[in-house]
């Protein structure tokens, strides 16, 4: 029989907006910064875990398999099995889902599952023409041949390509993620005014959560090597309004596009962990679980409309558990783009879409905005790609506990045309 899987605890770093040059932390640095205080407050030893699973998309050359590097730096022992998973924006949730299945089937009792990303450390990449020139120079034999190869250099060979820009472009459709949000917005008639209003509300909600202390116990202070400390998500703009955001120009589809820098998620560095445990581990270590994972579901769709991934993954998840949208009291839907979030809400409330695409008898219904992303989301705090899926699960659990709600869903769209969703219940 499948065993229950509990979320016992978790923590994350502040999400730090990428500015000029690499930020103060690498992916592993971030994972260690929030991992240390999390493990220090547990009533068991760090080496009591069975595994460490970490989501990360932009792995840097000095930290191959960041899960293993982080586990060693966290003092979890040389015999700790640790591996890294990558499914673009879903990587942090995939780590939880993989751990959930290991524990559910009896292959493990306690797993540390997380996500980390330092987008400010994304590399610059040489163009292929430059790579071929370097290769020709390196393999040329003799002085004359090397001089001849050197004289073939052209300035354009040395112009670097921003790796992150290519990484956020779908290789099949050749659309970047912002353009896919434009497609979703066009399909459901989402207006620029609606997107800007949603984005302003995301900032207002995060600022309110910070001021009220709702993130205490979730966000751990991070300390850089030069002695600076970071104790809050620094991309929030409390003074944002729909009117001020309306002044920004479209980024991806000028001049008529809906998606701007103001109503998109921010390029950010950050890490997050959750501790998952079986009922046996809970009893052994006298733990106090916060929630239980009920089920999860992954879905795939046309990459050009990847923003509808939450609809395609959360709908079958609810159906399988005999639930409707109205049965879910708290939602975390990762805010890749305001237009994309609003497109998902519109899709669920569209009779034709739900009949023809989802196979329902009619519209699934409308999600109450007071139940959705109650403390803001990626538009106001950022979207470190490999981390976000982990953060939304962690925050969903904490928000449910604070609000006294019983059932929640964390869901996200995933670059490449995927979606992930997880059903959580309070204990």
pLDDT digits (tens, 9 = 90+) for 184-209: 999 999 999 999 999 999 999 999 99
Q: Any residues with CB less than 8 A from the CB of 281 and at least 6 apart, and which?
A: 109, 110, 287
Query: Is pLDDT of 165 > 80?
Result: no
**Token pair recorded at residue 359:** 């196979």
Stretch 344-371: mean pLDDT:
97
Q: pLDDT digits over 228-284, tens only?
A: 999 999 999 999 999 999 999 999 888 889 999 999 999 999 999 999 999 999 999
**Token pair recorded at residue 358:** 């989802």
Q: Any residues with CB less than 8 A from the CB of 190 and at least 6 apart, and which?
A: 184, 258, 339, 342, 343, 346
The per-residue pLDDT for 123 is 76
From the candidates 121, 203, 297, 383, give the one annotated as an active-site residue: 383
Active site residue 121: no
The per-residue pLDDT for 387 is 98
Active site residue 354: no
Stretch 298-303: mean pLDDT:
98
3-class SS string, the chain: CCCCEEEEEEEECCCEECCCCCCCCCHHHHHHHHHHHHHHCCCCCHHHCCEEEEECCCCCHHHCCHHHHHHHHCCCCCCCEEEEECECECHHHHHHHHHHHHHHCCCCCEEEEEEEEEHHHCCEECCHHHHHHHHHHHHCCHHHHHHHHHCCCCHHHHCCEEHHHHHCECCCCCCEHHHHHHHHHHHHCCCHHHHHHHHHHHHHHHHHHHHHCCCCCCECCEECCCCCEECCCCCCCCCCCHHHHCCCCCCCCCCCCCCCCCCECCCEEEEEEEEEEEHHHHHHHCCCCCEEEEEEEEEECCHHHHHHHHHHHHHHHHHHCCCCHHHCCEEEECCCEHHHHHHHHHHHCCHHHHHHCCCCCCCCCCCCHHHECECECHHHHCCCCCCHHHHHHHHHHHHHHHHCCCEEEEEEEECCCEEEEEEEEEC
pLDDT band of residue 398 (cuts 50, 70, 90) is very high
pLDDT band of residue 40 (cuts 50, 70, 90) is very high
Active site residue 413: yes
CA distances from 99 to 273, 277, 278, 410, 427 (A): 12, 9, 11, 16, 19
The per-residue pLDDT for 424 is 98
Mean pLDDT of the chain: 95
**How many angstroms from the chain centroid is the CA of residue 186?**
24
Query: Is pLDDT of 169 > 90?
Result: no
From the candidates 89, 121, 344, 354, give the one annotated as an active-site residue: 89
**How many angstroms from the chain centroid is the CA of residue 42?**
25
The per-residue pLDDT for 35 is 98
From the candidates 34, 56, 344, 413, give the one annotated as an active-site residue: 413
* pTM (2 d.p.): 0.94
How many Cβ atoms are within 10 Å of 129's Cβ, its own excluded?
13
The per-residue pLDDT for 163 is 73
Q: pLDDT digits over 80-132, tens only?
A: 999 999 999 999 999 999 999 999 999 999 999 999 999 999 877 788 898 99
């Amino acid at each position: 029989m499948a065993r229950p899987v509990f979320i016992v605890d978790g923590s994350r770093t502040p999400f730090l907006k990428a500015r000029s040059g690499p930020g103060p932390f690498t992916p592993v640095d971030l994972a260690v910064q929030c991992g240390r205080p999390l493990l220090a407050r547990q009533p068991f030893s760090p080496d009591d875990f069975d595994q460490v699973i970490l989501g990360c998309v932009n792995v840097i050359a000095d930290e191959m398999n960041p899960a293993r590097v982080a586990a060693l730096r966290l003092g979890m022992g040389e015999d700790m099995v640790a591996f890294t998973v990558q499914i673009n924006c879903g990587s942090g949730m995939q780590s939880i889902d993989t751990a959930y299945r290991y524990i559910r089937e009896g292959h493990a009792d306690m797993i540390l599952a997380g996500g980390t990303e330092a987008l400010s450390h994304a590399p610059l990449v040489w163009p292929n023409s430059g790579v071929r020139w370097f290769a020709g120079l390196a393999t040329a034999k003799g002085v004359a041949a090397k001089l001849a190869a050197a004289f073939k250099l052209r300035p354009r060979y040395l112009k670097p390509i921003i790796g992150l820009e290519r990484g956020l472009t779908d290789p099949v459709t050749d659309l970047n993620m912002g353009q896919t949000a434009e497609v979703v917005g066009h399909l459901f008639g989402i207006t620029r005014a609606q997107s800007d209003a949603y984005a302003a509300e995301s900032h207002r909600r995060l600022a309110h959560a910070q001021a009220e202390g709702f993130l205490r116990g979730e966000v751990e202070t991070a300390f850089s090597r030069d002695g600076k400390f970071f104790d809050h998500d620094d991309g929030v703009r409390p003074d944002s309004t729909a009117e001020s955001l309306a002044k920004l120009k479209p980024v991806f589809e000028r001049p008529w596009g809906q998606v701007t820098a103001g109503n998109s998620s921010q390029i950010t560095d950050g890490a997050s962990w959750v501790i998952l445990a079986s009922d046996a581990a809970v009893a052994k270590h006298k733990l106090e679980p916060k929630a239980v994972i009920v089920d999860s579901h992954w879905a795939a769709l046309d990459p050009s409309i990847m923003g509808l991934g939450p609809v395609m993954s959360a709908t079958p998840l609810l159906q399988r558990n005999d639930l409707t949208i109205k049965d879910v009291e708290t939602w975390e839907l990762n805010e890749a783009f305001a237009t994309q979030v609003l497109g998902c809400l519109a899709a669920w409330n569209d009779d034709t879409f739900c009949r023809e695409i989802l196979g329902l008898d009619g519209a699934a219904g409308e999600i109450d905005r007071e139940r959705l992303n109650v403390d803001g989301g990626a538009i106001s705090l950022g979207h470190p790609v490999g981390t976000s899926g982990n953060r939304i699960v962690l925050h969903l659990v904490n928000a449910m506990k604070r609000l006294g709600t019983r059932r929640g869903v964390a869901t996200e769209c995933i670059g490449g045309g995927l979606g992930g969703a997880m059903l959580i219940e309070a204990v």
